């Protein structure tokens, strides 16, 4: 059982530098920062409404996150689903023969966590977490998660894998090759890789702004590189540590 997207993980070279954009420009509040020894990272969780953004700085070049940074550069690394019992969820996945990185849950920054193997989920790295405590109400933040965009060579197959693993309901769309899966307050949008320059895996993150005009004003002042659309801007990866970041005026569509 999955309650929502707990966080989206982004690999960065240096937390300090990433803070300038994510905390300074976007204004996301820092919730926690700590060294996670068994992942070899210094990690931070920033509040984004019902969800969180996790920034990961590798402490050595030879661990998983360090190799990711060397090979792919900064950018989207994994997403994490909130589940009431990571132990039960993991046991169920193991019983079904789903490839896992962690055979047993361990301590992470988000609580008790475990990673599935990327080959379990069409090349996307998925983490499960049972947080230590859930706040009664989400901390206020200037941005909320709208959706995470996943590029897939075989979109239908990727959608059915995600649905069979996590029982995510499909949101009605007007046909076409795109599929939206509801995850709590957020969504996963699976699009054909051809529509996103041939990229597979997590390709973009969409957030909705509490005060769109004020935020764009700050971005302009800070010389953030962005493309303007209707009711939405796209911040270029050069300004946002490797992430195609859509910021919307409206939560829907
Ligand atoms: Co994580």
Q: pTM for the complete prediction? A: 0.96
Ion ligand 1, residue ranges at CB < 5 A? 9, 54, 80, 127
Instruction: Report the relative pairing of strands 75-82 and 170-171 from DSSP bridges.
Output: unpaired
* Element containing residue 218 per DSSP (H, E): helix 212-221
Distance 8 CA to ligand 1 centre (A): 7
Give the pLDDT confidence of 88-104 residue by residue, as tens digits.
999 999 999 999 999 99
- The tokens describing 206, both together, are 């969409």
pLDDT at 175: 77
Instruction: For residues 124 and 127, give the distance between their C-alpha atoms in angstroms, rounded to a whole number.
Output: 10
pLDDT tens string, the chain, 253 residues long: the values are 899 999 999 999 999 999 999 999 999 999 999 999 989 999 999 999 889 999 999 999 999 999 999 999 999 999 999 999 999 999 999 999 999 999 999 999 999 999 999 999 989 999 999 998 776 666 678 999 999 999 999 999 999 999 999 999 998 777 788 999 999 989 999 999 999 999 999 999 999 999 999 999 999 999 999 999 989 999 999 999 999 999 999 887 7
Which domains are present in the chain? 4-130 (3.10.180.10), 143-248 (3.10.180.10)
Instruction: Report the relative pairing of strands 111-115 and 106-108 from DSSP bridges.
Output: antiparallel
162 three-state secondary structure: helix
Nearest CA to 89 out of 65, 122, 119, 120 is that of 120
Distance 109 CA to ligand 1 centre (A): 8
Give the pLDDT confidence of 154-204 residue by residue, as tens digits.
999 999 999 999 999 998 777 788 999 999 989 999 999 999 999 999 999
């Amino acid at each position: 059982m999955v309650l929502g997207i707990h966080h989206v993980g982004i690999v960065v070279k240096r937390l300090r530098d990433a803070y300038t954009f994510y905390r300074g420009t976007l204004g996301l509040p820092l919730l926690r920062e700590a060294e996670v020894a068994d992942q070899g990272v210094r990690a931070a969780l920033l509040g984004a409404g019902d969800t969180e953004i996790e920034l990961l700085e590798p402490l050595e070049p030879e661990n998983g996150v360090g190799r990711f940074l060397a090979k792919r550069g900064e950018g989207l690394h994994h997403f994490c689903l909130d589940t009431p019992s990571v132990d039960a969820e993991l046991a169920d996945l193991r019983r079904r023969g789903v490839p896992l990185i962690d055979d047993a849950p361990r301590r992470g920054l988000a609580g008790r966590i475990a990673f599935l193997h990327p080959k379990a989920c069409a090349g996307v790295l998925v983490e499960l977490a049972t947080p230590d405590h859930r706040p009664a109400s989400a901390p206020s933040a200037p941005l909320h998660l709208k959706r995470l965009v996943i590029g897939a060579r075989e979109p239908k197959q990727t959608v059915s894998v995600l649905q069979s693993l996590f029982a995510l309901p499909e949101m009605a769309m007007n046909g076409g090759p795109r599929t939206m899966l509801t995850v709590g307050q957020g969504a996963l949008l699976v699009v054909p890789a051809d529509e996103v320059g041939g990229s597979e895996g997590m390709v973009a993150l969409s957030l909705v702004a509490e005060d769109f005009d004020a935020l764009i004003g700050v971005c302009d002042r800070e010389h953030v590189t962005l493309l303007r659309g209707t009711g939405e801007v796209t911040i270029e990866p050069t300004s946002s540590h490797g992430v195609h970041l859509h910021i919307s005026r409206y939560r829907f569509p």
